[in-house]
Amino acid sequence: MSEVAASPVPMPAKRRVAQLVMLALAVLIVMGAYANVGLAVDGRVPAGMLAYGLGLGGIMLVAYLVLAKFAPWADPLILPLVTLINGLGLVMIYRLESAKMAGASAANQIMWTGIGVLMFTATLVVLRDHRMLQRLTYTAGAVGLVLLAIPALLPGSLSEVQGAKIWIRIGGFSIQPGEFAKLALVVFFAGYLVAKRDVLALAGRRLLFIDLPRARDLGPVLVTWGLSLLVLVFEKDLGTSLLLFGTFIAMLYIATQRTSWVLIGILLFVGGAYLAGLAFDHVGARFDAWLDPSNDVYYGNADVCLEDPPGDAMCGKSYQIMQGLFGFGAGGILGTGLGQGHPELIPLSFSDFIFAATGEELGLTGLMALLMLYALLVERGLRSSLAARDPFSKLLSGGLAFLLAWQVFIIVGGVTNLIPLTGLVTPFMSQGGSALLANWILIALLVRTSDAARRPPPQAIQNEGLTQVFQR
Amino acid sequence: MNGTLKRVAVACLAMIALLMLNVNWLQAVRAENLRSDARNTRNFYERYAIERGRITAGGKVIAQSVETDSKRFRFIRQYPDAKLYAHVTGFFSPESADAVEASENKLLDGSSADLLLRRSIDLFTGEPTKGANVEVTINPKAQKAAYDALRASGKRGAVVALEPKTGAILAMVSLPTYDPTELSGTDKSKVFTRYEELAKDKSQPLLNRTIAQTYPPGSTFKVVTAAAYLEDDSSRGPDTQVDAPQNLPLPNTNISLPNYGGAACGSGQVTLQYALEKSCNTPFGKIGMELGYDKMKEQTEKFGMGTQLGVPMSVAGSDFGKEEDKAALAMASIGQRSNRMTPLQMAMIASGIANGGSVMKPYLVSKITDAKGDAIDEADPEELSEAISSETADKLRTMMVSVVQNGTANLAQVPGVQVAGKTGTAETADGQPPHAWFISFAPANDPKIALAVIVESGAANVGAEATGGHTAAPIAKAVLEAVLNK
C-alpha cells in the first residue's frame, strides 16, 4: 500500500561494531567512576577495581556474544545503555559500602548482575520467538497472580521486611516474587488485550463525550484495579500496585486507541488512592510526607534517625524524603563528586533512594545524563514496538517499555517529592537481586521483539508484485 | 496501534521531562535552601571534612587539624597549649567558632576567595583542599610569662601586650580560661553541655577580658589627663607646678574629692611629675575641670577610644562617659566615674606614648600562608591616630619612668632597663575590693613592648595606690622580662 512507501522505514543494520564500541565505553566509564570513588575515599585506586572492571566487562562481553548469535538484528543501543546504568548503580553501591553503610554490598550486586545477564542470555537462547508467549496468555496471568499473592499468604516471619510484606524468605535467601509477577502480568495483558481489543474498542454506549465500555468488557480493568488495591492492603506495597495499574491502563489505551480508558483509569485510581489514604495510616502518612515534608511535625526527632544504621520506622514519616532532598541540595548543579558527599545519611540510599545518593555526588549534571539514559532506553523500546509487525509484539514491547518508564517515573518522582513516595526500585541501579533479574529479563524480551522487528522479512519465493499485508 | 504508541512515547518523554524539570528545581533553585537547612547534618560533617589550616604563634603550632579514623569526621581540631592560647585561637565547635577560628574561618577552611588560585591548582593536581595557615603576632614567651604570672596571683584578670611601633599584639591572656579542645569535639551533646557549663560559670571563663570587657580605668587614666594638660599648652612640662590640695571641693556639691585615704599630696603645690608618681587625685581632678569635658574626651578619642576596632575579633567600645557636671568630670579625670576602658584600650594608650605619640592599629594576625607555604596576605602596620605630639610623648615618658623609679610602681623595675609605667586602683562597688591596673612600656628610650594588666578585685585595701603597684606591676615585670630577655 502507499502508506508503506510514504513512511519509508530505513533498512535496519546490525551495527555490531558500533555496539561493541559503545559497550566498551560504558564499561570504561564505570571503571573510571570506580577509580574516582577509591581516590576520593581512600586516596588510592581501589584494589578491586580491575577485578570489578574485568568482571563487568567479561559479563557484558558474554551478553554481547549471545546477542550477536541469537538476536543479531536487535537494537544495538539497548545493551550499552543498560550496561552503563547497571554499572553506575554498582559504583554507587560500592561507594555507599565504602562509607560503611549497613546493608550495602557491591560484591552481592555484581553477583546479581552476573546472574541477571545469565537470565538475559538464557531468555534469548530459550525464547527464539516471543510470539509463543501469546499462547501462554492465561498461564502467564495465573503465574503472575500467584507470584503476587504468595507473600500476602505467607506468615509475616517469612515475608515481611521493614513493614512491607512482599518477600519470600527461606533461610538466608530472599526474593521479591512481585518483581517477576510484573513481567508475567504484562505478558498476560498483551495476550488478553490482543484478543479482546476489538470488543473493547468498539462495543459500548456513548455518554456525553466519552465512550463507555460494556460492563463485562470493563471487567478486567476492575479486576486489575481491585487486585492492585488488594496488594496495597495486604502487602503495604504502594509502588507495585501503582505500577501494575498504570501499565495496564497504558496497554489498554495502546490496544483500543480509546482515550476514555485512560480517563476511567485515572478516575478509578485517584478515587482508590483517596479512599486508601483515608482508610490506611501508612498511605495517609505518605500523603502527609509528600505535601509538607519539611514540617517538623512530620520530620520528627532526627536524633533517633541519626543512629547508625538509622532506625527508619522510628523517625518521622518525612525524615527519609527530607534526607534525600538534603542530598539533592548538597549536590547542587555539579555534585560533590563521587565519594565526597554524605549519601550514607539518607536511609536506604543503596536501594529505594539510590537516585538521591547519585544526585548528591553527581549533581544535577549527572542526574540529567542518567535520566537521558533512561529516556533513550525507553524510547528505543517503543521504537521497536512501532516497528513490530504483529499486534502482540507491539503490545508486549510497548507495555514493557512503558513499564520501565513508569517505574522510573514513580520512584524518581517519589524521591524528588514530585509525587507521593512509594517504595520501588530504580531499575538497574537499586541494590536487590529480584528486581535486577526481572529487569534484565525485561530487557531480553525487548531485545527479542526488537530483533524480530528489525530483521528483514524473508524474501518471498514468488514475487507477487507489491501486495503486502498492512498492519495498523 | 502506531498512533497510540506514538502518543505513549510522547507521554513517556513527558514524564522524564517532568522529572528533569523537578530535579532542576531541586538542585539549581532550591539547593541553597536545602543545603543551609539546620536539619541538614551534612553541614555538620562538612565542618570536619577539610583539613583546616594551622594557627601558629612565633612558629609554634597552637591549633591544628589531625586526621581521625572515623569516616564521618575526617579531621578534628587539636590545641597543643589548649588553655594558654584559648582566647587567641578560640574554639571550633560543631555549630560555631570563636576568636581567630571564627574571624579567619574562610581562610582556615580554604573557602576564601583569596585561595581561589590555590584551589584551582589543587583541582588539577587532584590534591584535597587544605585551608590556609594563620600566623598570629603573639610572642609565645610573652604569652607564657603573662599567663603564668597572672595565674600565680590566683585572681581573674587580663594581660594584653602590644608592639608599640607596629601595633602587633604580643600577648593576650584572660583568666580564668577554658580548654578549647572540649568545645571542638564532634560529640554535639557533650560539646553543648560543656559550653552551657562554661557559659553559666560565674567566673566567665569564655569571656576574653582583654577586648570584650570594659573596666573603670582608675588612676591609669591620669596619664590621659596629663597628656591633655600638656597638649593644651606646650610650655607645660613635668616640672610645671600644679595645685594639690588635700581635698578638692567639687562645685555644686557638698562633698570634696580626697586623695586616697585622705592623705596629703606634698605641700599643696607639687610638680606634675610628683603628682603622677604619687598618683595624687586632687591635681588631676582639678586639671580635668580646668580643661573641660570636650578637651578630655577629645584626648581619649585621639588615643583610639570610640573607634570600632577588629583585631580581627571585634573589640568592645571604650567610653569616656556622657557630659555631666564639673564634679563628675573631676571624678572621670582620675578614671573613677563613667569612663570604661578595655585593657586593650589602655595598652594602646601606653603604646601611643611609647611610640612618640602615634597609636598604631592593634592586630593579631601577622601572616596568612596557603598549604604550600606561599604567602597570601601579610599584616601591614597602620597608624590609627596621632594622639599627642612627640614632645608631649617625651614629657610623659619621663614622668612614667619616674613613676617606676620613684613612685608607686617600683615593683615593675627590671634591672638594666628603663621601664615606664602607671599604676591604677579602680574602686568598683562599695565594700568590693578594687581592680588593680598597671600600664607600662619598656625600654623607655626604645620601646619594644607596651602592655596593660588588670587584676580584677586585685587586693583588698592594702594601702594607698599600692594595689596596682603590688598586684599588677609584678605581672607586667614578668612579661617585660620575657620579651626583653632579661
3-state secondary structure of A206: strand
Residue B148 has pLDDT above 70, yes or no: yes
Percent of chain B with pLDDT over 70: 97
Measured between alpha carbons, how far is B67 from B70 in angstroms, rounded to an integer?
9
Q: What are the residue ranges spanned by the domains of chain B? A: 212-364+381-484
Which of A370, A372, A378 to mutate to probe the B interface, most B CBs <10 Å? A378
Using pLDDT thresholds of 50, 70 and 90, give the confidence band for residue A469. low
What average pLDDT does the segment B10-37 reach?
94
Which of A285, A373, A346, A331 has the alpha carbon at shortest distance from A80?
Answer: A373
Nearest Cα to B468, choosing from B255, B264, B297, B278? B278
Cα separation of A197 and A205, whole Å? 16
* Closest CB to A363 among B5, B11, B27: B27
Residue A145 grid coordinates: 497472580
- Count the helices and strands in chain A (H runs, E runs): 18, 6
Residue B128 clears pLDDT 80, i.e. is over it? no
The DSSP string of B254-300 is: S-EEEPGGG---TTSEEEHHHHHHTT-SHHHHHHHHHH-HHHHHHHH
- Report the pLDDT averaged over residues A360-376: 96
pTM, entire model: 0.71
A364 reaches B (C-beta below 8 A)? yes
The pLDDT assigned to A154 comes to 82
| Statement: B212-364+381-484 belongs to CATH 3.40.50.970 | no
**Percent above pLDDT 70 for chain A:** 88
Given a cut of 50, whether residue B256 has pLDDT beyond it is: yes
Q: What gap in Å lies between CA A255 and CA B108, rounded to an integer? A: 65
ipTM: 0.91
Asked whether B439 and B468 are in contact (CB, 8 A), the reply is: no
Do the strands B133-136 and B55-57 form a parallel or antiparallel pair, or are they unpaired? parallel
- Residue B352, Cβ density class (10 Å: 0-12 exposed, 13-18 middle, ≥19 buried): buried
> What is the crossing angle of helices B282-291 and B293-302, to 10°?
100
Over residues B369-426, the pLDDT tens digits come to 988 888 888 999 999 999 999 999 999 999 999 999 988 888 888 888 999 999 988 8
Query: CA nearest A434: which of A240, A179, A183, A182?
Result: A179
Mean pLDDT, chain B, integer: 89
Picking from A119, A17, A114, the residue whose alpha carbon sits closest to that of residue A56 is A114
User: What is the per-residue pLDDT for A211?
Assistant: 67
Q: Is B219 a catalytic residue?
A: yes
Least confident of A300-309, B315-324, B463-472: A300-309
Contact between A279 and A268 (Cβ < 8 Å): no
Q: Smallest CA–CA separation between A379 and chain B, in Å? A: 7
The alpha-carbon gap from B222 to the nearest alpha carbon of chain A, in Å, equals 58
Residues of B in contact with A299 (CB under 8 A): 39
Q: Dig out the grid coordinates for A355 from the structure.
A: 537516585
Estimate to the nearest angstrom the gap between the alpha carbon of A317 and the chain centroid. 25
Residue B250 has pLDDT above 50, yes or no: yes
Tell me: pLDDT of A461 over 70: no
Give the active site residue among B65, B112, B153, B219.
B219
Residue B125 clears pLDDT 80, i.e. is over it: no
Interface contacts A/B by beta carbons within 8 Å: 145
Cell digits of residue B482: 620575657
Nearest to B15 among A341, A368, A409 (CB): A409
Is the pLDDT assigned to residue A216 strictly greater than 80? no
B10 in A contact zone (CB under 8 Å): no
Q: Which chain A residues contact residue B27 at CB under 8 A?
A: 328-329, 331-333, 359, 363-364, 367
Alpha helices in A257-333 (DSSP H): 259-279, 281-291, 296-299, 302-305, 319-331
Q: Given A39, A398, A416, which is nearest B22 (Cβ)?
A: A416
Q: Which amino acid is at A461?
A: I
pLDDT tens digits along A156-174: 777 777 667 788 887 777 8
Which whole number is the average pLDDT over B329-351?
92
